[in-house]
Amino acid sequence: QVQLVESGGGYVQAGGSLRLSCAASGRTFSRYAMGWFRQVPGKERDFVAAVTWLGRSTYYANSVKGRFTISVDNAKNTLYLRMNMLKPEDTAVYYCVAVESSTGSLYYSNKAYNYWGQGTQVTVSS
């Protein structure tokens, strides 16, 4: 069974940085697409970024492009999201996600992912 455990959330002032981590276990992830979504109360989960497990392809939401970087450490079975120049509108619960992707495709729909972590809160103050 795939397990995804996020960490690294917290409280930061606008303009600051955070790095989220997602420890993945339970599979060999070489044919998986991994990613991050975020959610604020009362709204749907929004796509943030995705990456193939070998790190050859990445995909970002327009709202975070140029500020966030998604990456994978295959040796540690860990997914990262480096967030720079944070804005108050980045405040949300951030979820790590995974889905088997033998074609190497990346997905931005939350319906495409069948494995989700428990989430980690990120709060950005103005």
The pLDDT value recorded for residue 62 is 97
- What residues are paired with 33 via a beta bridge? 52, 99
DSSP state of 43: S
Beta bridge partners, 64, equal none
Q: Give CA–CA dist 65/76, Å, rounded.
A: 25
pLDDT tens digit at each of 126 positions of the chain: 899 999 999 999 999 999 999 999 998 888 899 999 999 999 999 999 999 888 789 999 999 999 999 999 989 999 999 999 999 999 999 999 999 988 888 899 999 999 999 999 999 999
- Is the sign of the CA dihedral 126, 48, 109, 62 positive or negative? positive
* pLDDT value for 53: 83
Q: Tell me if 36 sits within 8 A of 95, measured CB to CB.
A: yes
